[in-house]
Amino acid sequence: YQTIGIVSNPNLNAVFGFGQGFDDYVELSDVWREGDSPKIGGARVTKEALDAVDRRTDKDAPLYLRAMYTDTHAPIEVPKAEALLYKDRGSVETPPRIWEYRAAVHRFDDAVEKLWNGLRQRGFSRRNTLLVVVNDHGEGLAWPAQNQGIGHGNFTFQGPIGMPWLMFGAGVARGHHIGGVASQVDV
């Protein structure tokens, strides 16, 4: 395998040891400093991942690609018109931050779909690719109000600790779901 890792969370930069074992490790953010590290959206992660794939030196080697997204990590900045697309249409009234969060989840979904489509266009398939996609944790949105908090780091509710960990490739069971607790360090 030729191995590529791409991270949008500076806590996973190579300086912390997370770049070990990769032929190419792409860091999209500098290490955190007092709020000066910009948030990187999924569209850019996907673009940079596909660019890294295009730079591969051994075009015949199978590919291991791990892409780490942060779309659902605060701050979530979504234009109001986009957020309104995710407003509830039923009897349950949700706060605007929920609409924004739903829009961020949709952005993540779109980015992953574009990544896979881009890989397929380049000739990658289940036979010659192992794709691992992780998203940073979500946020506590204090909704529904009972037993929920705001933010992350202080709560063990599903919102702040739940995250997708998607795998695709040879030897990976189709449609398999693993329950229980795992950590990004496990990836």
Where do we find the tokens 């398939």? 125
Q: What do you get for the CA distance between the two ends of the chain, in Å?
A: 17
Q: Give the mean pLDDT per block of 10 residues along the chain (187 residues).
A: 92 89 92 65 95 94 93 84 84 79 91 96 92 76 62 58 76 80 64
| Crossing angle of helices 96-121 and 42-54, rounded to 10° | 10
Structure pTM? Answer: 0.83
Alpha-carbon distances, residue 146 vs 25, 79, 151, 153 (angstroms): 41, 28, 15, 18
pLDDT at 94: 80
